[in-house]
Amino acid sequence: MQDRVVGVSLGDGFTLAVTDAGAVFSFGYNFFGALGHGSQESEVLPRRIEALAQTGRRFVAVAAGDYHALALTDEGEVYGWGHMDANGHWKELCTPQRLAALAGGRVKLVNARGRSSCAVTENGELYTWGAAFNNLQLGHEVGGYHRMPKRVEALRHVKVATAAICDTHTLVADKDGLVWGFGMRAALNLGDVNPPRRTAFSQPTPIPTLRVRTPP
């Protein structure tokens, strides 16, 4: 009997898939080693990522950015590989390695887009990392590169239930469905009649037009 695919994520020219048996497959273009097979050779057909299989872990979710990837285990561990901007390590990796910076908490969600990544722990903590440039979408006061996962301090009073990130802005929601956003102001639908001159901000701000149903 073949395994069933239970999750997919699309990067820039490549695809990740995770099965109900906990295996991770990838295929497509292999820029910066984003396929995780230990080389930069592209793959036409889905190929199991053996480095993840050898960990003995069961994987439950995957997330792909432009040129990097993340995989989450059922024990809340996160593995990253690909371009160093947002793979959670200090260097480009063609083979997945566990993110040591997240080892202190059990992660329940990972998300990645562009050159940005985020993780939410079971305790409701939000961690972000990647290339912020001028958009401040990582939620840290200083822009630029944050290649290692770092907690968003401004959300310490919020128990985050879910989050989505990209290279321009980030949205988070708590267990009651209240939504906050930070990053590029024009992408956040804040209802500004006379928007301020500042085009981006790192301070999480409530979005009055949004309320979502979050997972238990």
Instruction: Give the mean model confidence (pLDDT) for residues 31-41.
Output: 97
Say if residue 49's pLDDT is above 80.
yes
Contact 86/48 with Cβ under 8 angstroms? no
Asked if 191 contacts 209 with a C-beta cutoff of 8 angstroms, the reply is: yes
Q: Do residues 124 and 158 touch, judged by C-beta distance below 8 A?
A: yes
Neighbours of 109 (CB within 10 A): 20
Tens of pLDDT, residues 134-188:
899 999 988 789 999 999 999 999 999 999 999 999 999 998 999 999 998 888 8
Mean pLDDT of the region 38-42: 95
- Measured CA angle at 26 (ends 44, 60), to 5 deg: 155
Residues 177-213 have pLDDT tens digits of 999 999 988 888 776 655 555 688 899 988 888 888 8
Q: What is the reported pLDDT for 191?
A: 62
Reported as a pLDDT band with limits 50, 70 and 90, residue 86 is: very high
Tell me: pLDDT of 27 over 50.
yes
Q: Average pLDDT for residues 16-21, to the nearest whole number? A: 97
pLDDT at 122 over 80: yes
Question: Is residue 1 predicted with pLDDT exceeding 80?
Answer: no
Q: Does position 72 have pLDDT exceeding 80, yes or no? A: yes
Cβ atoms of 194 and 155 closer than 8 Å: no
Is pLDDT above 90 for 81? yes
Q: Which residue has the higher pLDDT, 206 or 12?
A: 12
Neighbours of 162 (CB within 10 A): 20
More confident residue, 207 or 49: 49
